[in-house]
């Protein structure tokens, strides 16, 4: 393993760990990133566990892992960068007036030039969630299909189909979208926050990544099987519009929810009077806010809209 210290144009540091074979020529390269958002420490935990596992593997290709991309945001546990209040995972595009987040994005884009595949690890902060991989509808059909096939190798509970052109328009400028546009198969993995994640979920992700690295010929091993029948979903969100406290009525993920079902009780800060939170959607429960304080912009629930495949 080699440690790389990358430096952005404005002097910020990014530490990357590279595992490479002795004869590198022409062999494939995978880039795995975590903590583009500073409040997603579970992603760092996965990256570190993967680094430990790779120490015992025989390498035939190169994998570079960055457990903590956004050091400044991680230091204060914030999604956004403290200097410019930007969401780093929306900066992978041409931007004229560059601030700290853009310099980080530039450095990652420069590094990614040299790689064939990308996996970006994320967390649903404050939410109970299954292990979800994310298909972003960017790049041509071929690269999208390959990214989806690789997700079947990883074997999540759900494949989330995210189309920034339809619905989740705020998801432009992601690292995954950038890589897909460059013709590099890439996808995200979403997981619960550290206080909710289960050991078996962490294992599922780390083992899934090992299978992926075997499949794309980074490490030696028996050709992995794809997981069949992983449900494909879009998200339907019930957003939180004022600060308060939420008590979920269920945390049974991927179980069917029906329209009108009570999902929990909300105590708005304003009145502290309990309000029943009712699902406006029917479908499998993808995520639900954990017991505790919630605020504007977060979600009470995400209900899956199941897609055929």
Could you list the residues that contact Zn ion (CB under 5 A)? Answer: 37, 122
Q: Which of 190, 193, 289, 197 is nearest to 243 (CA)?
A: 289
118 DSSP β-pair partners: 31, 186
| Nearest CB to Zn ion, comparing residues 29 and 37 | 37
| Nearest CB to Zn ion, comparing residues 157 and 215 | 157
Instruction: Check residue 206 and report its DSSP letter.
Output: H
Instruction: Check residue 40 and report its DSSP letter.
Output: -
Cα→Cα distances 246→35, 192, 194, 219, 284, Å: 26, 17, 19, 45, 20
| Nearest CB to Zn ion, comparing residues 81 and 122 | 122
Q: Which residue is nearest to Zn ion (CB)?
A: 122
What's the closest the beta carbon of residue 264 comes to Zn ion, in angstroms?
Answer: 24
What gap in Å lies between CA 175 and CA 180, rounded to an integer?
Answer: 9
Residue 139 φ then ψ, to 5°:
80, 180
What's the closest the beta carbon of residue 237 comes to Zn ion, in angstroms?
Answer: 16
| Nearest CB to Zn ion, comparing residues 135 and 219 | 135
What's the closest the beta carbon of residue 37 comes to Zn ion, in angstroms?
Answer: 4
What's the closest the beta carbon of residue 258 comes to Zn ion, in angstroms?
Answer: 30
What gap in Å lies between CA 37 and CA 266, rounded to an integer?
Answer: 27
| Nearest CB to Zn ion, comparing residues 123 and 219 | 123
Q: Is 111 left (phi over 0), alpha (psi -120 to 50) or beta?
A: alpha
Cα→Cα distances 277→61, 236, 262, 291, Å: 50, 15, 6, 13
What's the closest the beta carbon of residue 259 comes to Zn ion, in angstroms?
Answer: 29
What gap in Å lies between CA 144 and CA 137, rounded to an integer?
Answer: 7
- CB atoms closer than 10 angstroms to residue 260: 10
Spatial contact of 126 and 298, defined as CB atoms under 8 Å apart: yes
| Nearest CB to Zn ion, comparing residues 122 and 138 | 122
| Nearest CB to Zn ion, comparing residues 86 and 122 | 122
What's the closest the beta carbon of residue 89 comes to Zn ion, in angstroms?
Answer: 6
Instruction: Check residue 170 and report its DSSP letter.
Output: G
What's the closest the beta carbon of residue 92 comes to Zn ion, in angstroms?
Answer: 13
């Amino acid at each position: 393993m080699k440690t790389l210290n990358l430096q952005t144009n404005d002097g910020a540091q990014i530490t990357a760990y590279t595992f490479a074979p002795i004869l590198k020529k022409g062999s494939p390269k995978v880039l795995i990133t975590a903590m583009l958002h500073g409040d997603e420490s579970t992603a760092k935990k996965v990256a570190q566990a993967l680094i430990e596992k790779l120490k015992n593997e025989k390498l035939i290709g190169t994998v570079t892992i960055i457990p903590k991309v956004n050091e400044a945001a991680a230091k204060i546990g914030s999604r956004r960068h403290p200097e410019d209040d930007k969401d780093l995972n929306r900066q992978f595009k041409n931007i004229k007036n560059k601030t700290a987040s853009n310099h980080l994005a530039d450095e990652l884009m420069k590094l990614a030039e040299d790689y064939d595949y990308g996996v970006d690890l994320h967390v649903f902060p404050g939410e109970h969630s299954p292990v979800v991989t994310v298909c972003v509808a960017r790049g041509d059909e071929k690269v999208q299909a390959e990214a989806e096939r690789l997700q079947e190798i990883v074997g999540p509970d759900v494949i989330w189909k995210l189309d920034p052109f339809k619905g989740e328009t705020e998801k432009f400028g992601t690292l995954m979208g950038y890589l897909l546009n460059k013709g590099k198969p890439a996808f995200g993995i979403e997981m619960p926050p550290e206080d909710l994640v289960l050991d078996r979920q962490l294992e599922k992700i780390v083992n899934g990544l090992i299978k992926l690295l075997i499949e794309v010929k980074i490490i030696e091993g028996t050709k992995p099987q794809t997981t069949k029948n992983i449900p494909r979903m879009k998200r339907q969100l019930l957003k939180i519009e004022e600060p308060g406290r939420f008590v979920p009525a269920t945390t049974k993920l991927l179980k069917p929810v029906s329209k009108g079902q009570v999902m929990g009780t909300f105590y708005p800060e304003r009145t502290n009077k309990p309000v029943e939170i009712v699902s406006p959607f029917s479908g499998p429960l993808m995520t639900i806010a954990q017991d505790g304080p919630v605020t504007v912009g977060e979600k009470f629930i995400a209900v899956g809209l199941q897609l055929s495949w």
